[in-house]
Structure 1
């Protein structure tokens, strides 16, 4: 059975600690994609991927650049795993897969949790194991048992990785 990691970037892979370290050393903090990822957070993501064989679904606001750009970022930065997909995003409260697509009829308040729920309905079997890695609790109540809150200062820690691995085993 497939397993999925719903992955935010800012505060999860990009961290205040790493950004400040780069600034103190006079090094670049961004590339053509955006802020550089913290190698410690990336290593902990790698641990999760290696032990669970989960697939990555990007929930970060960076996904508005599109799936191809997310895959290019992943390949160029030589990051672990592969980007399987991006969640849809709500623009002005209406569901869309991209800013060029016609939204569904009706108005829905946007939230990351709703976007994840929509993705799961469209792409996964019921009871598919998943975990949400995010520094913000913009999730649905029913998703709280699948949520790993990340500290934006440190990004994904080894403790977060252990917790995510446990959740994906269920």
Structure 2
């Protein structure tokens, strides 16, 4: 099991809610360069791997998610997706993923734009869905992954 895990939502984190979709390249067009660069900085600084929590995981196979992120210039290793248990309670899906690991990660952080993580207090870094992931969130993300 990886030492550090970043649980990643996509819409509102890796893009803005007003980001247009290019039908020719689909999800890749929604992964904004500034958001990808911020994610790359986190991964390069911490060695964290990514587990996708976004609803995109329900309609797109893991290999396809990985391909879109690579095409957008993302260097993160996407290792898994959370189980589909209770969409309104993403914290329960993350907790279930953590519980299923033979050895839990030493540190983890949740990046999401609009979810409360009542079951996992203090682990959420909320992004502003009007701008996505950027430099404002990085100090908190890096601190959580450094624990």
TM class by smaller structure: 0.7 to 0.9
Length-normalised TM-score, structure 2:
0.86
Q: 1:148 to 1:124 in 2, by over 3 A?
A: farther
Q: Which residue of 2 aligns with 1:33?
A: 26
The answer on 1:70 being equivalent to 2:50 is: no
Alignment of 1:61-100 (within 5 A): 61-64=55-58, 65-90=60-85
Please state how far the C-alpha of 1:118 moved relative to its aligned partner: 0.5
Any runs of at least 4 consecutive aligned residues in structure 1 with deviations exceeding 6 A, and if so which?
Answer: none
CA deviations over 1:27-75 (Å, ceiling 9, x no partner): x645443352121111111111111100100011111112122122223
Query: Which structure dedicates a bigger proportion of its chain to helix?
Result: 1
Length-normalised TM-score, structure 1:
0.75
**Which runs of 5 or more residues in structure 1 are unaligned?**
94-108
Task: Kindly tell me the number of residue pairs found equivalent between the two proteins.
Answer: 144
Structure showing greater radius of gyration is 1
Q: Which residue of 1 aligns with 2:45?
A: 51
Please state how far the C-alpha of 1:150 moved relative to its aligned partner: 0.4
Alignment of 1:107-122 (within 5 A): 111-122=89-100
Q: 1:82 to 1:157 in 2, by over 3 A?
A: same
